[in-house]
Structure formats: C-alpha cells, structure tokens
Amino acid sequence: MPSKSFNMLTSAEKRFVRYWEEQRKGGRWSYLLLYILAGTFIASIVLLFVLHMWAVDFEGREWLIPITSFVIITVVTNLTWMRNEKRFKTIIRREMENGKNESETGVGVDKK
C-alpha cells in the first residue's frame, strides 16, 4: 500500500505546472511578444478611456498613450515570466527532492 507524501502537489500547483509547461513550449520570446502586443493594445484603450473620463487635455501628445502602455506592459510581462519561471522551478525541484528522499528512505515506495 503506497503511503502519502507530506509535500504532494496541491491541485493549484498541478494546474500551474500544466499551464506553465504549455506556455514555455513556445519559448520566452514568443510569450513576451504575444502578451506585450496584446497587452499594449488593451492597455492603450483602457488608458485612453480613463484619461478622457478625467478630462485630461492631451494638447497633441496622444502618442504618449501607446508608448506608456508599451513600457508598462513590457515591464509587467517580463516580471510575470520571471515570477512564473521561479515558481515552476521551485515546485519541480521540491518534487524531485521529495521523490529522491522517498526512494532513499523507502517511504512511498511499494515493497513486494
């Protein structure tokens, strides 16, 4: 009868690992390109709407909206990639260590 490990993956961690493995398949640059382009477009629309709601006078500087959106989204996307990579590697490392410890101690291994 297999014993339970104290550090099994939670359902949220399992979902995250599946999701992040899928995102990593295309590579970092395709991930960044997709989210930066889509994010910049959406952020520009939102920023334009918010600034018009606050009655901000652009005085011919509307071009700052997409540039500001691009910079913000680029920073956020890069930080998200780095955070997700760190989380993914931490989970995988922990599970590998748990598997190694279980096989060394015989915990969680079926003995016949």
Residue 27 reports pLDDT greater than 60: yes
pTM for this one?
0.75
Contact 39, 73 (CB under 8 A): yes
Contact 43, 73 (CB under 8 A): yes
Tens of pLDDT, residue by residue over 10-22, are 999 999 999 999 9
Mean pLDDT of 102-106: 68
Mean pLDDT of 73-93: 96
Band of the pLDDT at 112, cuts 50, 70, 90? very low
Integer Cα distance of 13 and 6 in angstroms: 15
Contact 16, 24 (CB under 8 A): no
Type of residue numbered 74: T
Integer Cα distance of 61 and 112 in angstroms: 75
Type of residue numbered 79: L
